[in-house]
């Protein structure tokens, strides 16, 4: 692929109206996925036509514009990012920003299904850690949650990631009546292998077949239950995302909580998200967005895209307003998580 020209940073840091510096960009490279997780997608999904999706060259140019403006952490997401055709071309190209020191970290969130195939090449591109989504260690339940997933393939992918020298963090969505009885064994499994485990509350994003009220498990309750069995010590550890971490004294490992519902973490938000169509969402929980595809395609110069980014960051909201209850049947945000990126 043709690499966009690197430029010396000339723009001030991206500062939103509330004084927060935007230094973390999550980019969805595809809305497609080889799973159909029950809390994320409908089983019969209609995906975007390819003409609407940014090319790999356009994704590189867009990411590079954000890096030039001071973004230091870049995470590629999906859908499932590793199902995007020729995706390693983008990783290889973006790795130049690691080599130059402009970027501190290039990572990805994955369901793990393709890790066995790509782990070594990811490491060669400068990726040092990956987030793998696993909501259960029960193969039958895993298939039921993901509809199409094979747990053994995901675990083999994690083994391949370790062999390649990649750090692994496991993400698990807490689901009432589904995996709440597995949280303790998942903590022990992850910590025995040296992995951090992060628990995530389900969010009201996109129409699904099920009622999210039936799925929603407050992590405040999970933490209270865990404190009957473990000693949890708050620690200041940060990875750039919204998780708040504790050390589990009995295992020595770290446990993270991402709580968009029970504890709004917006006061320290340092991130924005770009979809595979070039739409910039300044907040995961708000519909306001900016079209970056049009200025990207309108000129080979970057002045239009730079101006569009600056304007969008200038209206980044203070926070989101997620609500899950039986009186609000419709999701707070109608787009699916696979569109925005994890």
Burial class (CB in 10 A: 0-12, 13-18, 19+), 32: middle
**How many other CB atoms are there within 10 angstroms of residue 240's CB atom?**
15
In degrees and rounded to multiples of 5, residue 216 shows phi and psi of -70, 125
Binding-site members for S-adenosyl-L-methionine are: 39, 79, 133, 203
Binding-site members for GTP are: 26, 75, 109, 169, 271-273
- Reading the block at residue 156, the tokens are 């083999």
Which residues are paired to 133 by β-bridges?
171
Query: 56-68 and 303-313 are packed helices; what angle lies between their axes, rounded to 10 degrees?
Result: 60
| Contacts of 181 by beta carbon, 8 Å cutoff, 6+ apart | none
Run of H or E residues at 220: helix 219-226
Taking Cα atoms as reference points, which of 109, 226, 100 lies closest to residue 170?
A: 109
Going 338 to 122 to 188 to 142, the CA torsion angle's sign is positive
Binding-site members are: 26, 33, 37, 39-40, 75, 79, 109, 133, 169, 203, 266, 269, 271-273, 283
Distance CA 62, CA 28 (A): 12
Contact (CB, 8 A) for 312 and 290 = yes
Binding-site members for [4Fe-4S] cluster are: 33, 37, 40, 266, 269, 283
Distance CA 200, CA 216 (A): 10
């Amino acid at each position: 692929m043709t690499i966009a020209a690197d430029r010396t940073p000339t723009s001030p840091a991206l500062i939103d109206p509330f004084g927060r510096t935007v230094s973390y960009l999550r980019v969805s490279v595809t809305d497609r996925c080889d799973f159909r997780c029950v809390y994320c997608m409908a089983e019969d999904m209609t995906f975007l036509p390819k003409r609407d999706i940014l090319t790999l060259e356009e994704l590189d140019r867009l990411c590079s514009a954000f890096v030039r403006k001071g973004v230091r952490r870049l995470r590629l997401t999906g859908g499932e990012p590793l199902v995007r055709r020729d995706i390693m071309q983008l990783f290889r190209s973006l790795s130049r920003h690691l080599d130059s020191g402009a970027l501190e970290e290039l990572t990805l969130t994955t369901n793990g299904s393709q890790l066995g195939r790509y782990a070594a090449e990811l490491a060669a591109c400068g990726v040092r850690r990956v987030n793998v989504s696993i909501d259960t260690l029960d193969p039958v339940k895993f298939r039921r949650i993901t509809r199409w997933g094979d747990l053994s393939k995901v675990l083999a992918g994690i083994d391949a990631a370790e062999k390649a020298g990649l750090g692994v963090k496991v993400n698990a969505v807490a689901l009432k009546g589904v995996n709440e009885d597995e949280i303790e064994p998942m903590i022990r499994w992850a910590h025995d292998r040296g992995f951090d485990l992060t628990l995530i509350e389900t969010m009201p994003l996109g129409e699904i077949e099920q009622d999210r009220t039936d799925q929603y498990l407050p992590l405040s309750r999970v933490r209270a239950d865990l404190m009957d069995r473990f000693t949890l010590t708050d620690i200041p550890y940060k990875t750039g995302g919204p998780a708040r971490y504790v050390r589990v004294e009995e295992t020595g490992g770290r446990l993270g909580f991402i709580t968009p519902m029970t504890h709004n973490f917006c006061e320290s938000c340092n991130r924005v998200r770009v979809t595979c169509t070039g739409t910039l969402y300044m907040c995961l929980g708000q519909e306001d967005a900016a079209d970056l595809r049009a200025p990207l395609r309108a000129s080979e110069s970057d002045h239009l895209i730079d101006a569009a980014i600056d304007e969008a960051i200038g209206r980044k909201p203070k926070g989101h307003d997620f609500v899950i209850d039986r009186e609000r049947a419709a999701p707070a945000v109608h787009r699916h998580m696979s569109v925005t990126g994890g």
